[in-house]
Structure 1
């Protein structure tokens, strides 16, 4: 009965809820939760999923749980990521990314998300100089040493430009202190990183040989830098991850150069069985162009890089993305099991990609973007040059938010002596959803 004494309160509740809803709408815009009325302080959440269906030829001698296989069809989650970041004050910024990579039917079950990034930064001089620390993708060498996975043009990033991926870092992320900023059209990043222990890397083997490999001794600090001049539209350096393609939304022309250096990172033995330490020293230059190219939303994307890798004498390492296999009975195959190929090595590697977005509403409200990418490498360990080819087409259902990519990749197979013996291929169909 007492409630009947307060009819005005019940009439006011819907009005109060409506007012709160209007206020919430004012503070949620562009998928950001604004923390103040001006919007200068905010928190943002993003989600990325990339799901693969793949048919591929497997390296000679490959086994899956002991069963010999020369080809496979597999389904997997290439990437699953969740990000939260925000500008807490006009100078304080934080970034956290959790996720999972390369989950397929031979992966450990219920392995859970792991931390990709967790860092904070403070703007000493706004736009011009920010300092930060933590686990981050701020890295040197090249533009796509830290790619924005949700905006890459093809089915995957040029992974060879992540030169120590999951060897002495955590899927390219490093425990580091960094400085970054923009001075006019000059964009820079400088990083002091502490390498992860090589003993914790997958497939670690502590044996020393005549060919260089990462030393198990306590590592020295690693120094990274990447610098670019942005001729046309300016790009954001809010996070370390660089855009794959803007799909014609910007006119960008950048020229960049970078390096990675670590003293005594690798070791080997001499012919006299003396232990020799070798520095890791990488240098690269690149050019990036992405711009509208015709009426109706057509756009062109071009990128090229040249990198010299100094890993030490005869260093070679395979890349086996979401490897469907876990064994190889043929010791004469340099590539290892499954879909591995020698993507990393001491020597020079050239990479180029090109893509063309066709006019908007080509197929209903959707459109297409074909592309091709090539990695050509002259590595000391190999007698024959290494050429990796990736060509495909994107069906842009809703830009990068929802897209299907069909890719054909072709890789070389080498014997233990470093001679190319054959080439094998793979077809990959990827569906991407990206809430950004």
Structure 2
């Protein structure tokens, strides 16, 4: 039959994957431009927005306790003309608020930028290589977390373990390989480290390390990073077509995975000895984790649980923002209350993380208590969360987030 371009909702090659992973009875595979009759040549488009209202009483006397934030505004597109190769483009902005807006939308915080642009090629059944600005990260499931279906209000911040230090918003430019051997899935990557990372400090004599190896000692010794993540799927098999890990299936699958991952950056950090001479220190991060998501009976109830232990070596006594040499434990659990899957569903949850740092005696402890209201699975939901963070001082924040994605 004559080829045509048909705008449609449904009949995507991966429609079952997206239906189950998002838990929506209305989504049915999303938006697709089909270039042939069987849908094997297509363009897939996803768009989403997350808008927040936050309350924080730990502010200056002249500051408002209530503020608004456009947490994410994104568009993601990927296309195939055959199963041998794929191109993906993902752009948007993050955390647009009164402090990052500009009068005519040209300020740094107002700008759209590319999150991902990569091409990938199938070299054998279930095995793919690719390159570009990509999100095939190592370390843990949460370092590969999708922002479409996070169970908690947002990802555990410390689990995006290199964001802004060696990458652009958790993405590196490099090459990757991904695939699976039965139930074992893998992703490995070799990437360039960013030159101008967030840690712009200069090393102090006999002081702590700073994360700036490529900037301070050059790309020959400190230019590359290596990362990998491996997880075994004991029950239902998760899709690894894209790198983004699902946060909660809402009982749409029965999943139990155990994973392990790493991140290595030779001479990624730098310290100055007693004479002021600079020396590179290897950065190494390792983690193990487990993920469980399952329906409970036939009445719509479901459980989601996740736990991880992570060892972080950013260099001697390293401490910058949320990151530091030491260790981290983190976990969360959520329960979907029984009810009609075609109506609004509720999922209370709790999360807890504790981060220890070699440089200080205090741990950073973070407790989150929240509830999701799913009006159409993850495609339309409200999240209310209270988060308390203790690190020297104690800070409590209450946030209401509305999210829609199509």
User: So what's the TM-score if we normalise by structure 1?
Assistant: 0.81
* Cα RMSD after superposing both structures: 2.2
Task: Give, in angstroms, the shift of residue 207 of structure 1.
Answer: 4.5
Whether 1:354 aligns to 2:333 is yes
Q: Which runs of 5+ in 1 are unaligned?
A: 1-18, 63-67, 319-342, 414-419
Summarize deviations over 1:364-409 as a string: whole Å, max 9, x none: 9211100111111221112022211111001111110111100001
Moved over 6 A (4+): 25-28
2:256 — aligned with what?
253
1:82 — aligned with what?
75
Task: Give, in angstroms, the shift of residue 271 of structure 1.
Answer: 4.8
Contact 2:137 / 2:143 at 8 angstroms: preserved in 1? Answer: yes
1:8 — aligned with what?
none
1:141 — aligned with what?
139
Contact 2:7 / 2:32 at 8 angstroms: preserved in 1? Answer: no
Worse-superposed segment, 210-219 or 241-250 = 210-219
| Larger radius of gyration between Structure 1 and Structure 2 | 1
1:204 — aligned with what?
200
Summarize deviations over 1:25-82 as a string: whole Å, max 9, x none: 67964322222222222210001100000011447xx6xxxxx657621101001110
Task: Spell out the pairing of 1:305-320 with structure 2 (5 A cutoff).
Answer: 305-318=308-321
Whether 1:35 aligns to 2:35 is yes
Whether 1:304 aligns to 2:312 is no
Whether 1:369 aligns to 2:362 is no
Task: Spell out the pairing of 1:36-435 with structure 2 (5 A cutoff).
Answer: 36-58=36-58, 72-109=65-102, 110=105, 111-127=110-126, 129-198=127-196, 201-202=197-198, 204-208=200-204, 210-215=207-212, 216-217=215-216, 218=218, 219-271=222-274, 273-318=276-321, 343-361=322-340, 365-413=343-391, 420=392, 422-435=393-406
Summarize deviations over 1:93-140 as a string: whole Å, max 9, x none: 11110110010001042123110000000000021x211000011110
Q: 1:212 to 1:107 in 2, by over 3 A?
A: same
1:5 — aligned with what?
none
Distance 2:175 2:35 in 1: 27
Contact 1:82 / 1:99 at 8 angstroms: preserved in 2? Answer: yes
Summarize deviations over 1:394-435 as a string: whole Å, max 9, x none: 11111101111000010114xxxxxx2x31100000000011
Q: 1:27 to 1:405 in 2, by over 3 A?
A: closer
Q: Which runs of 5+ in 2 are unaligned?
A: 12-28
Summarize deviations over 1:272-310 as a string: whole Å, max 9, x none: 644332100011000000110133211100000000001
Task: Give, in angstroms, the shift of residue 23 of structure 1.
Answer: 8.0
1:321 — aligned with what?
none
**SS in structure 2 of the partner of residue 150 of structure 1:** coil
How many residues are aligned here? Answer: 375
**SS in structure 2 of the partner of residue 406 of structure 1:** strand
